[in-house]
Each structure stands twice: as C-alpha cells, then as structure tokens.
Amino acid sequence: MGSLPSLGDQIAPVRPPQVHATPSQPRYLNRELSQLDFVDRVLAMADDASLPLLERVRFLAILGETVDQFFQVRVAGLKEQVHAALPQTSPDGMTTGEQLVAIHQRAARLLERSTSLFMRQIAPALEQHGVCILTIDHLDDADRAFLAAEFDARIFPVLTPLAVDPAHPFPYISHLSLNLAVMVRDPVRRDMRFARVKVPPLLPRFIPLADGKRFIPLEQVIALHLDELFLGMEIVSQHPFRVTRDADLDLVDEEAADLLAAIQSELRRQQRRAQVVRLEVDAAMSEAVLDLLVRELELESTDVYRADGLLDLSSLWAIYALDRPDLKAEPWTPVTQRRLQGVGSAPANIFEILAEGDVLVHHPYDSFATSAEAFVDQAAQDPEVLAIKQTLYRTSGPVSPIVRALIRAAESGKQVVALVELKARGDERANIVWAQALEQVGVHVVYGVVGLKTHAKVTLVVRREADGIRRYVHVGTGNYNPQTAQIYEDVGLLSADPELGSDVAELFNFLTGYSRQRRFGRLLVAPVGLRSNIIRLIRREAARPAGGRITLKVNSLVDPEIVEALYTASQAGTEIDLIVRGLCSLRPGVPGLSEGIRVRSLVGRFLEHSRIFRFGPNGGALEYYLGSSDLMPRNLDRRVEAMVPVVDRSLQERLGQILDIELEDDVLAWELHNDGVWAKVPTVEGVNAQQAFEQLAQARAVAGNGSAPDA
C-alpha cells in the first residue's frame, strides 16, 4: 500500500487575513455568485445563434454539469454551515443565509432561462434539421407500438417501483438520479398512494424511434407504460424529479493507517447518508406531491427548483454525440511541433530534443499524444531509463496510454512511482480502481500527503547517460488525461534543466517520504512557499518607480490576501491585467482602490484552463510562470501545487503571445465592471483567441524551433 507521511509541524498553512468589508461598498465580489456569473456566460454561448446548433447544445450540457457540481460542493458547504449553527460572513459581507437566498434566486432564473432556451429555440431548430426530441403528445400509433416493444424488451426488466405506505418507508433517492413521482389510486378502496420509479441511469436518456432521427426522453417512455408497473391501479399523476446531494468527502480521520480504506468507507457512507441540497421538479407537479418530497427529503422551499421542460441538461451530451458533423463546428486536430515530429517514420527522440533545449506545448492546439504522452511512453521503453515518477489527479483510468506506459515500465523492472490523489472530487472511485491495478503490476502507488490534496501536474524521468544520471521533467497546468487534453486549454513545459530536475526530485521526496524540503531553486511549491512568492512578486512590481506590470491567467481568483496585494499594487501605479475564466472576487476599476486593474474572461469552444503568470514592466526583463495553482486559499494552503518558471527567451515570448492574444480578443471575451457585472466585449477587430492559437499551432508544425513564427 502507499505510504502516508505525517508532516506534522512541517506544514503550517498561511492563514489569509480577516478582511472587514463594508456593506455599502464591499471590497470583494461574492465567490458563489461569481460562479453563477460564469454559468451566465456559458448560457450566453448557448444563446448565440451564430454557432452551429449542436455546439449550442454542448454549451447547455456544460451548463448542466457546472450547476450540478456547484450545488453538490459549494451549496452543500453553505448548508453544512447552517446545520452546524456556525454562522459565517463571507469577505463581501454576506451571511450564509443571505448567500443561500441569493443563490436560489439566481439559480432559479438560470434554470428557467436555460430550459426555455432549449425547449423553445434550440429543440425546434434541431427539428428543422431532422433531429426531433419529442414528447408523448407527438407520438402516432406506430410510434407507440414501437416504444411498447422497446419498453417490454429493454426497459421494463430493469425497473423497480417502490411504494410508500406504512409497510414501505420512503425510499432512498440517490445522488443526481432522475425519478418519477407517481400517484396511484386503488380502484376498490379508493385510497391514494405515492410511489417512486427510478429512471435507470445505465439506459440511454433519449430513446430513438424506428427512423433513428426522432428521440423521446426515457422518463416519458416509462410514464407511458406505468400501467404495466402498477397493474390494476389507476395512475392519477406522474411527474419527473431529480435530487442533488452533498458530494464532498468528509474524512474525519485523514491520518488513518490506511487512507485507501478510509476513503472507500467514506464513499459507502456518503452514498447512503449524504444530505440533499437541491430538488428539481417538473413545473406541473402538484403541491401535495411536492410537499411530500420536501418533507421526506428534509428540505426547505428554497431548495426546490421547478423546470418547465427537460430535467438534467447535462444529459444533452447524448444529443451532442449524434453523428451530425453538419451541425457541429469543424473538428480541430492537434498538431505536432516541428521539433517533436521526428524524421520520416521514426518518432522524435524526446530526450535528445530536451538536451538541446526546453519545449513548451499548448494544448489542445499542440498534440498531447506526441508530447506529454510520448515523453512517458519513450521513458517506459528506453532501457537507459531507471525511474519514472508521476502525479496523477484525474486520468482516463487503465485505458489511458500514460497508465499503460507506467505499467509496461514497471513490468520491465523500472522504478515507477505514481502519486494518485484519491480525494480528486468526483473521481474517487475511478482512481481507487486503477490505483489498485497499478499496484498489482509493481508500481509504487502513493496516496499523497496527510492533510493535503496533491494537485500538481509533474512527471520526473531519471535516465542513465554517458556522462552520468540525468533528469527530465514535465510540469503542466492540466491533468494527464488524453480526453480532456482535447477540450481543455493548457500549457506544459518539458525540460532537462538540471536545477529544475533537482527541484522536481525533491518535490517527489516531499510527497512520498519524509523530506523537510521547504526551499526550491526553481519551483514555486504550495503550501511551503507559493503564496509568499506570489505576494513578493506582486510587491516587487508595486515598488517599481516607473510603474510595474502584472498579467495573471487563472481559473479562479478569490484569495483575500492575494486580492489585497493586487489592490495595493494598483494603488501604487501598477498596471494589472487579469484573465479569469470563472470565479473572481476582486472588484476592478474602483477609483482609489483598483482603477489600474482590468479583469476579463474568455468563454469559447475550448475550456480555458491554463495558469500563466507574468511579472515585469513593458520593455523590461519579464518573469513567466506556469503550473497547476489557482489563486484560492485551497490551492495556496491546502494543496500541493507546483509552478515552474519559464526562462528560455523564445518560450517566454510564446507565453507572452498567448497572454497578449487573449487580452486582444474581442470575440470570446467578457469584461468585469466595478459594479460586479460582466459584459460582453464589443467585437471591433474580430480577434478570436482560440482560432488564432489554431493558426499558430499549424505554423509551428512547419517552423524549426517550436516557437511561434513571429516570436
């Protein structure tokens, strides 16, 4: 089993200062409502009639997934505060109760708008193109006969109706399950009973009709045949509903002797006892049935969300997956940089390439398969490689080429270490399964550091060469997952720099053993120094007599200490540009506070995911960092994160080009105003950053040095 180092007093997380906000002019924007602002921007993409229809469907599916995660984590956390009678005030001055009320109001409007958009605009438009999502009312006799046969053959055998009466208690409603609330009447005794029918999650959500072009939601097919489930009973009413539960692991004893067993136990406990935090119901559901659900699930009225249309927009991934290229954007095929292409049919020797200089990759524009994957694959095959060490947070499991390469390396006798983060939210079960598979073939699987999540994206390869042992490293911003690498925008650095290799080796010693390493030559590592170094760099820019310059690209910016440092730098004359995909609690453009700060967000075809930091004045020496950390307390204080400096001038210029293009974008970009409102940037020049990156990647495929052609 994996070792569990207890760091004790080695790690004393820096506590952000207590910030006192005034209700009249809070210094911060609320982080929870900021997440819903991001959902609003995703909804705007779904509402963009210029996009191909199935791309609009895709954005609705992303919206559904994002809102689900928001409720099962963030809203669940707020409700825990209420139930624990631990009132807290957020940095923007809102109480827990005020936040829950505001969330309910905003989320209800989002649900209404997104459902209406699909039912009244997108679904009718799809029908015009031969993709019809029907309701029971649209079926003719032939359709009903076809569905009856489908129901008897494939659906009926896996259904289990559960009645509620004195002999049958209210059933457990599983997390994110879709169900039918059915009221039945006994024709003899005339009494009414409630029953629940779970919509089987293993069956397709949309059942194709005989022509393969028309679809009907599975729950409606079940509703059409309820009389077969409740023989001899009168079906009074039926309405779909969906439950969201708290999905955050609560490990009381993280210092358990076996963290794997502790997490497995907590997953089983959570499966049965996790609190319900949201109830979505059909808008036509009667008050009597709704009251029963609210009572039995121990909810408040503000936990209920009515939908006049399809429940669970995340299920629209099934519609997006239809083979209709005419209704989708032209697919992007990642390219291989010229330096990584090799000669003829022979693949490039990555170790020889890195001996000549570092390589920067930008996914999904640059191929993940011919860079990060090839790096691990060649290390697994190379007889001179002695050891491979890698952190794994989210991956596609045992079928992943990287995991298969690690297995081959272990089977060939190499020292292989995989640090598997069992607490990766949503992937706990999957990570347990393939961690055990790795252990069975001799991979040394380590489950991280007690009290911390390991979120760093780092690989170390130790190779025997003519002049001695040499280390090769990969440090990135995204997970080692070939699937998400095709849709997430990320950057990564491949390097043979000796000092960086030494740092990464020390980081793995810290993660797998009892190292007390607190200083690194190149790496910035959380929680032992990343926060203090970021603040040092911000203050350095603030102290420049001629005015400093800071550009930060992150997914989230909510850490109060970092926000305050940026406010102070702005007041000192520092020009600050922030590219924040999602959460942002900083309020920009406030006179006397943050007038030198600009905040923008890009929402496009690919999910902006990279973290890139740039410090230094225009025309001066610049410092660039990339890595895994967002600017949140959890990243800086409660996770192991790694940010690496990029020192090669040509690669610095390429990172600068990425930032500058995103700052010039006026097609995908939104701007945050000082009143907390996000507004779409007017399109004037027509700069689409993601299309520009595709063009640059194609140019790099024929350029000689792997940098942008004009860098």
Contacts 24+ apart (CB under 8 A), 200-207: 200/155, 200/158, 200/159, 201/177, 202/158, 203/154, 203/155, 203/158, 204/318, 205/178, 205/312, 205/315, 205/318, 206/133, 206/315, 206/318, 206/319, 207/147, 207/150
Residue 88 tokens read as 């807290």
One-character DSSP codes across 470-510? EEEEEEESS-S-TTGGGTEEEEEEEE--HHHHHHHHHHHHH
* Beta-ladder partners of 263: none
Catalytic residue among 363, 455, 474, 609: 455
* Percent of residues in the chain assigned helix, strand, coil, to nearest 5: 40, 25, 40
Helix (H) or strand (E) holding 512: helix 498-512
Q: Which segments within 145-205 are labelled E, that is strand?
A: 161-164, 178-185, 192-198
Gap between the Cα atoms of 58 and 74, Å rounded: 24
Q: Which of 131, 42, 123 is nearest to 605 (CA)?
A: 42
Let me know the angle formed at the C-alpha of 341 by 338 and 342, rounded to the nearest 5 degrees.
Answer: 120
DSSP state of 315: G
Answer for the pair 555, 38: CB distance below 8 angstroms, yes or no: no
Q: Is 455 a catalytic residue?
A: yes
Question: Measuring CA to CA, how many Å separate 652 from each of 325, 514, 646, 659?
Answer: 37, 35, 6, 11
Gap between the Cα atoms of 22 and 26, Å rounded: 5
Distance between first and last Cα of the chain: 48
Backbone angles phi, psi at 282, to 5 degrees: -65, 135
| Residue in the structure block whose two tokens are 């090769």 | 472
Instruction: Give the number of other CB atoms < 10 A from CB of residue 621.
Output: 8
Gap between the Cα atoms of 567 and 606, Å rounded: 31
DSSP strand pairing (132-133 vs 214-217): parallel
Let me know the angle formed at the C-alpha of 597 by 592 and 603, rounded to the nearest 5 degrees.
Answer: 145
Contacts of 634 (CB under 8 A, 6+ apart): 453
Answer for the pair 557, 550: CB distance below 8 angstroms, yes or no: no
DSSP strand pairing (359-363 vs 304-307): unpaired
Answer for the pair 154, 226: CB distance below 8 angstroms, yes or no: no
Answer for the pair 486, 364: CB distance below 8 angstroms, yes or no: yes
At 618 the three-state DSSP class reads coil
* Alpha carbon 109 to chain centroid, angstroms: 23
Q: Which of 107, 42, 556, 454 is nearest to 99 (CA)?
A: 107
Contacts of 212 (CB under 8 A, 6+ apart): none
Q: Which residues are catalytic?
A: 455
